[in-house]
Every structure is written in C-alpha cells, then in structure tokens.
C-alpha cells in the first residue's frame, strides 16, 4: 500500500483512506436509499388494502418482495458493519475515549436535527447512542467480540420480546400511527407534517426498541473485522473473505427457507409457537439478514480486488467518502418531493416513481461527490461533524495544487 501523500500547510490531520471501504460504503448508501425511498414515498405507511387497490399493485408487490429478499436490512447491515469497522480504525489512529465521545456527541446532534426538522426515519441518532457503548467492548478479545456481536444481533431481542411486547401494547397501535402520519404527510400543511414527523419518530423509536440490539450487534462484528484488517488488507484474508461470502450466502438461503415455511411449520407443530422451540424459531428469523449482509460485503470486497471490476466500482468511492452528506441530501430532496406540502408525488402512482427518483438522484450524487471532493477536504456534513468533534473550525477548501485525500469516517 502506498503511503499517503504529504499534507499541505493547514490541511487537517487524516486517517489514510481505504478506497475499497469507501466504495463499499457508497454501495451500501445506494441500498439504504432504496429502502428509505419506500418511506419517503409513503408506500411503507400504507395498509394492505390500500396497496392492493393501487393500479400498480402487481408490480409493486414484485418490487417489495425483491427488496425484502435482497435489500431490506441487508443494506443497513453493511452500513452498520462499516461503522464498527471505522470505530476500530479510529481507535487505532486516535486511542482514548475523548475523541470517540466527542464524535458520537456531534453525530447525535446532527441526527437529532435531521430527525426533528426533516425526517422521522433518521438512523444517525440511533448510531450515535449505540456508538457510545462501543468503548465498553474495547478490551474484549476477538473471539469474545464475535460472540457478543452475535448475541446482541440474534439472541437478545427474541429473549426480551415477550416482556417488551406487553409494554409496546400500551402505546398507540401501528395502524393508527401510520394512518395519522400518512394523512398529515400526504395532505397536511408543512406545520402538520412537521408535527406528525415528531410524533411518528418518537413512536418508532419506542416500539422499535430491538433496533438498538440490531445495530450494536453489527457494530461489534464490524469492530472485529476492523481489528483483523479484513477490509483494510483484503489480500491477506482472501480465504476468510471467501468463506464468509460463500458460507453467509448458504446460511442466508437456508434460513430464508425456514422463514418462508415458518407459518406452515407452526401450524403443523404447535410446539414451535412457545417455549424454547418458539424462541429458537424467532432467533432464526434474524439470521438471514445478517448472514446475507456479511456475504454481500465480502463478495463486494473480493470483486473489488479484480482490476476489471475495480475500475467500475471506483465510481462509488467519492459518494462513500461523503456518506453523511449524501444521506442527509437524500432526505432533503425526497421529503418535499413526495410530501403534500411539496410536489406531492405521494404514493398514488405506486413504486415506479421511487425507482425513477433513485435512477436520477443517486447518479447525480455520484457526480456531485466527485466534483466536491476535488475542491474540498470533506463533504459539508462531514466537515461539520469533524469540526464539532474537534471543537475547532477545520480548513475545508483544498489548495489549488493539493493532491490530498479526505478523512476516514466510520
């Protein structure tokens, strides 16, 4: 690996960039965008009867099924793994709790503003809160990290769900919350939509309590991968990458079959509805998204190592270096695009407008990211995050003759 070029005077201190990691982050950003578009477009808030009454119901169902198998929870799995991997890289470059705690506090502030002002589906605040827990695991060995990650991701949520379900039942039902939000976001004024954004966002964070374990488990597995240098030095780990790719795909396929057949299995063997068998069946539902997300990430890394593929996949690198900015920009564009207080595209046309928006917005983001990083050290949100974390105004514009790289972000 070539050493990073020397910095010009006034340039920020940097962790050397990893193009493979940035490209994978850009790839995950596309997947997250596709998932979020179902919520931006309000489709995810519709009840079954409304979805089936749309003229595009047949195509919509195909798209939902395909995304459910290949994208939903897999993209955020990759994103979360990379966050944990980035934590390992940051701890190696800047050990100590202070820098990490400041980074998470700054991310929490950005996430809180995003969630309250713009979009209820924000994930940044959750990442910041869960990220505060990562230093508690820094003294664990590699094997213990993997075990802790799997326990958090797979075993704890189903174990706690019987008790948490009783508490969740005291909150407003999902159908009621979604109906109110759908009406406000598709027909209401800007003020009504904003207020419902706050209400729905708070309700989602309470009812989706298992997301904390979902994220923490993947952070810890990514932390392990970062310690091992799995993506920083992939040439040294080809056998492990291949094993995780193939093994993850096989495990995911097997458990997807279990999930598909689960209703019939429970009908035939009622013992699967409760007790230890029921608990293990609930655990099995969580295996496929994690295994397939890991398989896709490792497959991407193996593909990136091939020169012919690397030339094409490098187009994702700039977007991966500006993930935070691009994530926020997607909300800034799509919320007013679909909501009633904006252009009001809404849900009545089905999911094809969602695909059209993705086909236009994401390529523009790829171009804009490359253009921006030729002129600036950071994306605008990354600059804000880093400046808040270090409590100083960092230089942003590159000198005309500079040939430097950006800052590694988890």
Task: Give the pLDDT confidence score for residue 101 in this predicted structure.
Answer: 94
Q: How far apart are CA 221 and CA 88, in angstroms?
A: 11
**Distance from CA of residue 149 to its chain's centroid?**
17
Question: Hey, where are the domains in the chain?
Answer: 1-70+315-404
Q: How far apart are CA 280 and CA 269, in angstroms?
A: 14
**DSSP character at residue 397:** B
Among left, alpha and beta (phi > 0; psi -120 to 50; other), residue 209 is alpha
Q: Report how far apart, in Å, the C-alpha atoms of 8 and of each of 305, 358, 395, 406 are.
A: 31, 38, 11, 13
- φ/ψ (deg, to 5) at 376: -135, 155
Tokens 């793994």 correspond to 81
Among 386, 387, 310, residue whose Cα is nearest residue 18: 310
Supply angle C-alpha 194, 60, 203, rounded to 5. 30
How long is the chain? 410
**DSSP character at residue 43:** G
Q: How far apart are CA 45 and CA 233, in angstroms?
A: 42
Which residues lie closer than 8 Å to 144 by C-beta, 6 or more apart? none
For residue 104, the tally of other CB atoms under 10 A from its CB is 22
* Long-range CB pairs of 236-241, under 8 A, 24+ apart, other chains included: 238/302, 238/305, 241/298, 241/301, 241/302
Residues 108-139: b if buried by 16+ CB within 10 A, e if exposed: bbbbeebbbebbbbbbbbbbbbbbbebeebee
Among 271, 131, 121, residue whose Cα is nearest residue 197: 121
Residues 305-315: b if buried by 16+ CB within 10 A, e if exposed: eeeeeeeebee
- Using CB atoms within 10 Å of the CB of residue 390, give its burial: 0 to 12 exposed, 13 to 18 middle, 19+ buried: middle
343 CB-side CA count, 13 A? 12
Task: Give the pLDDT confidence score for residue 12 in this predicted structure.
Answer: 45
Task: Give the pLDDT confidence score for residue 280 in this predicted structure.
Answer: 94
CB 252 within 8 A of CB 291: yes
Question: In the chain, which residues have pLDDT < 50?
Answer: 1-13, 402-410
Task: Give the pLDDT confidence score for residue 16 in this predicted structure.
Answer: 58
The pTM of the full predicted model, rounded to 2 decimals, is 0.91
Q: How far apart are CA 287 and CA 290, in angstroms?
A: 5
What's the pLDDT tens digit per position in 190-220? 999 999 999 999 999 999 999 999 999 999 9
**DSSP character at residue 235:** G
Task: Give the pLDDT confidence score for residue 143 in this predicted structure.
Answer: 96
């Amino acid at each position: 690996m070539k050493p990073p070029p020397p910095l010009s005077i006034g340039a920020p201190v940097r962790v050397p960039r990893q193009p493979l990691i940035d490209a994978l982050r850009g790839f995950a950003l596309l997947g997250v965008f596709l998932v979020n578009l179902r919520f931006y477009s309000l489709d995810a808030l519709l009840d079954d009867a409304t979805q089936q009454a749309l003229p595009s119901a047949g195509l919509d169902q195909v798209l939902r099924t395909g995304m459910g198998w290949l994208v939903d929870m897999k993209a955020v799995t990759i994103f979360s793994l990379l966050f944990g991997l980035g934590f390992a890289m940051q701890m190696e470059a800047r050990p100590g709790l202070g820098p990490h705690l400041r980074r998470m506090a700054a991310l929490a502030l950005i996430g809180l503003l995003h969630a309250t002002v713009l979009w209820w589906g924000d994930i940044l605040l959750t990442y910041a809160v869960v990220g505060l827990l990562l230093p508690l695991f820094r003294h664990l060995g590699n094997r213990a990290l993997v075990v802790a990650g799997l326990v958090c991701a797979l075993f704890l949520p189903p174990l706690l769900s019987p008790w948490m379900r009783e508490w969740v039942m005291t909150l407003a039902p999902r159908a009621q919350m979604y109906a109110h939000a759908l009406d406000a976001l598709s027909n209401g004024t800007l003020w009504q939509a904003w207020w419902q954004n706050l209400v729905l966002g708070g309700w989602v964070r309470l009812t989706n309590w298992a997301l904390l374990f979902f994220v923490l488990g993947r952070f810890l597995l990514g932390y392990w991968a970062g310690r091992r240098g799995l993506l920083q030095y992939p040439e040294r780990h080809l056998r492990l990458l291949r094993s995780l790719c193939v093994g993850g795909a096989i495990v995911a396929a097997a458990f997807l079959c279990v999930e598909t057949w689960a209703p019939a299995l429970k009908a035939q063997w009622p013992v699967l509805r409760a007790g230890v068998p029921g608990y293990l069946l609930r655990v099995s539902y969580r295996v496929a998204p994690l295994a397939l997300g890991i398989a896709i990430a490792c497959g991407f890394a193996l593909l990136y190592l091939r020169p012919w593929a690397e030339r094409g996949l490098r187009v994702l690198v700039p977007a991966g270096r500006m993930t935070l900015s691009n994530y926020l920009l997607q909300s800034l564009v799509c919320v007013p695009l679909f909501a009633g207080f904006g252009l009001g595209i809404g849900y009545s046309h089905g999911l094809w407008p969602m695909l059209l928006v993705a086909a236009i917005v994401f390529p523009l983001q790829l171009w804009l990211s490359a253009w921006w990083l030729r002129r600036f050290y950071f994306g605008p949100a990354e600059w804000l995050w880093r400046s808040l974390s270090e409590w100083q105004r960092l230089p942003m514009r590159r000198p005309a003759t500079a040939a430097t790289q950006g800052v590694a972000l988890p």
